[in-house]
Amino acid sequence: MSAQQDASTREEQLYGALETEKVNAATAEIDRMSPLEIVQAINAEDARVAQAVEQVLPHVARAIEAIAVFALWQAVEDLEDSAEAGNSDAAQLAIVEQDVVVGITASGRTPYVLGAISYAREKGALCIGLACNRDTALEKVVEIMIAPVVGPEVINGSTRLKAGTAQKMVLNMLSTGTMILLGKTYGNLMVDVQPTNRKLHQRAVGIVQQANGLAPDAAEALLQEAGGEVKTAIIVGRTGMAPEEAREQLAAHDQFLRKALDALDAKK
């Protein structure tokens, strides 16, 4: 093995050892879960976040002290008062009835958001509201309303705090749950990852390795044989079929890796 290959192998091992890159045993079968079970699993993991942040509060305090010396910025705070601006900005997005638009506002009454939702409704898009108050103007103009009420903020009216955190958690659930239901995962592995840079390539190799129980070199070879397509590589590794056959299997099952593998297993 050359020095360059040895260094690359060490880097891959170090990358795979990162906490953020490890496989979460609690969500290993998340692609088999119902939508409610998916969001319950995400919520359970989110509960760990505050505990993790608690462990680093002294470091956060030091950072705040340092930032305060340089914290000079200009907020654009009047834009949210314009329903016309929201309507106009939404019009730039070429929204159609096949789209889903989420209006996000802590108060549930921000004119900019209401203006954007108004335009989206005119175009026939599915409109979802996300606010941290109930019985709001937003609730009256959307098909689905999500309203986690977190109570008064630590700093009065500073809704980037609890309200912002709650909304980020909900948005994580919406995007993650949707991707799972669309077949973008196999278990809790992101099998639709595109290896367009070094980090994503390492992740793709790790996914093939994890899914098929292979050594890194074997997973790398499979990924190359499959033209960088993770799902194709996994099927090739499991079955020994040619990449083109694997692609046909995926196409026959709407690109759902789980369904394709289950169908192949059923034929054995």
Q: What is the dihedral of CA 248, 254, 256, 258, to 10 degrees?
A: -70
1-23+189-268 has CATH 1.10.3720.10 classification: no
Residue-range domain boundaries for the chain: 1-23+189-268, 60-67+79-181
Give whichever of 45-49, 126-130, 225-229 has the largest mean pLDDT: 225-229
- The model's pLDDT over 31-55, given as tens digits with 9 standing for 90+, comes to 999 999 999 999 999 888 888 778 8
Under a CB-based contact definition with an 8 Å cutoff, are residues 237 and 208 in contact? yes
pLDDT of residue 257: 97
Residue 143: pLDDT above 60? yes
Q: How many CB atoms lie within 10 A of CB 46?
A: 16
- The model's pLDDT over 163-199, given as tens digits with 9 standing for 90+, comes to 999 999 999 999 999 999 989 999 999 999 999 999 9
Using pLDDT thresholds of 50, 70 and 90, give the confidence band for residue 67: low
- Which of 174, 176, 214, 237 lies closest to 24 in space, CA to CA? 176
- Which of 57, 146, 150, 52 lies closest to 104 in space, CA to CA? 146
pLDDT of residue 152: 87
Helix residue ranges, H only, the chain? 3-16, 35-54, 57-70, 83-91, 111-122, 162-181, 198-212, 216-225, 230-239, 243-252, 257-266
Contacts (Cβ under 8 Å, ≥6 apart) of 38: 30, 173, 176, 177, 180
**Residue 2 and residue 7: Cα distance in Å, rounded?**
9
Cα-to-chain-centroid distance, residue 9: 28
Contacts (Cβ under 8 Å, ≥6 apart) of 46: 169, 172
pLDDT of residue 48: 85
Residue written as tokens 């009420």? Answer: 149
Same fold, 1-23+189-268 and 60-67+79-181: no
- Which of 218, 215, 264 lies closest to 239 in space, CA to CA? 264
DSSP string of 121-145? HHTT-EEEEE-SSSS-TGGGG-SEE
60-67+79-181 has CATH 3.40.50.10490 classification: yes
Residue written as tokens 């088999």? Answer: 32
Residue 93 is classified by DSSP as T
Which pTM was predicted? 0.80
